[in-house]
Amino acid sequence: MNKNKRKNKNLVDYKWTIKIVITAFLLSILFSYISETAIPNLNILFGILLTLIIVFIGIIFDMIGVAVTVSSEAKFHSMSAQKIKGAKMAVNLKKNSAKVSSFCNDVIGDICGIISGSTGTVISIKIIESFSLNNLVITLIIMSIISAITIGGKALVKGIAMKKCDSILITFARFLSIFESIK
C-alpha cells in the first residue's frame, strides 16, 4: 500500500502545478501588456508582423515540446559523456520532459495563441477604422488567418519534431546552455 501511495503521489506534482500556474499568469500579464500597449501604437503592417512573430513563437515552442517528449535520453547521455556542448542540458530537459513539454506547449503555446488573438482583434479594429470596412467580415478574416497559420504551422512542425527530435532538442539545449554559463 505504501508503494501505491508513493506511485500516486508521483503522478501529480502539486508544487510544479502551482509554479506553472503562477508563471503562466505572470507571463500572460507581461505579454498582454506589451501587445495591448504596442499594437495600437504601431501601423497596421508592423502590427501584422508582430502578430506573426507571436504565432511563430508559439509554433516553435510547440515543436520543442514535442521533440523533448519523443526524443531518446540515452543518446544525450552518450553525448554528455563525450562532453558535447548542450548534452548535459538535453539530459536534464529529457528527464523533465513532462514539465518541459507542459511549459513549451501549454504555457508558451497557449499564451501565444491568446495574445495573437487579441492582437488580431486590435489589427481588425485598425483596418476597420482606416478603411471603413465591414466589422464582422474583417474580424472573421483576420481571426481565420491567424487560426489557420497557427494550426497549420503546429501540424507541420509536429511531424518535423517527431522525425528530428534529437537534433531539435540538442539545438534547444545548446541555446539554453548559453544562459546557464551567464549565471
How many C-beta atoms surround the C-beta of residue 163 within 10 A?
12
Alpha helices in 12-43 (DSSP H): 14-38
Specify the amino acid at residue 148: A
DSSP secondary structure code for residue 82 in this structure: T
Is pTM beyond 0.95? Reply is no
- Please tell me the predicted confidence (pLDDT) of residue 1: 47
Q: Which three cell numbers stand for residue 49?
A: 508582423
Grid-cell match 504601431, residue found: 42
- pLDDT of 146 over the 60 cut: yes
Check residues 32 and 97 and name the one with the higher pLDDT. 97
- pLDDT of 183 over the 80 cut: no
Query: Which tens digits make up the pLDDT trace of 48-89?
Result: 998 999 999 999 999 999 999 999 999 999 999 999 999 999
Alpha helices in the chain (DSSP H): 2-11, 14-38, 44-70, 73-81, 87-95, 97-101, 109-131, 135-163, 165-182
DSSP secondary structure code for residue 133 in this structure: -
Domain, as residue range, for 178: 2-182
Q: How far apart are CA 116 and CA 52, in angstroms?
A: 8
Determine the average pLDDT of the residues in 8-21.
Answer: 80
Closest by CA to 51, choosing from 107, 105, 128, 121, is: 121
Closest by CA to 116, choosing from 152, 155, 150, is: 150
Number of domains in the chain: 1
Query: Which tens digits make up the pLDDT trace of 91-138?
Result: 999 999 999 999 999 999 999 999 999 889 989 999 999 998 889 999
- pLDDT of 3 over the 60 cut: no
Query: Which tens digits make up the pLDDT trace of 161-175?
Result: 999 999 999 999 999
Contact 51, 123 (CB under 8 A): yes
How many C-beta atoms surround the C-beta of residue 132 within 10 A?
7
Specify the amino acid at residue 168: I
Which residues neighbour 176 within 8 Å (Cβ) at sequence distance 6 or greater? 86, 89, 93
Determine the average pLDDT of the residues in 21-41.
Answer: 85
Grid-cell match 513549451, residue found: 104
- Please tell me the predicted confidence (pLDDT) of residue 10: 61
- pLDDT of 144 over the 60 cut: yes
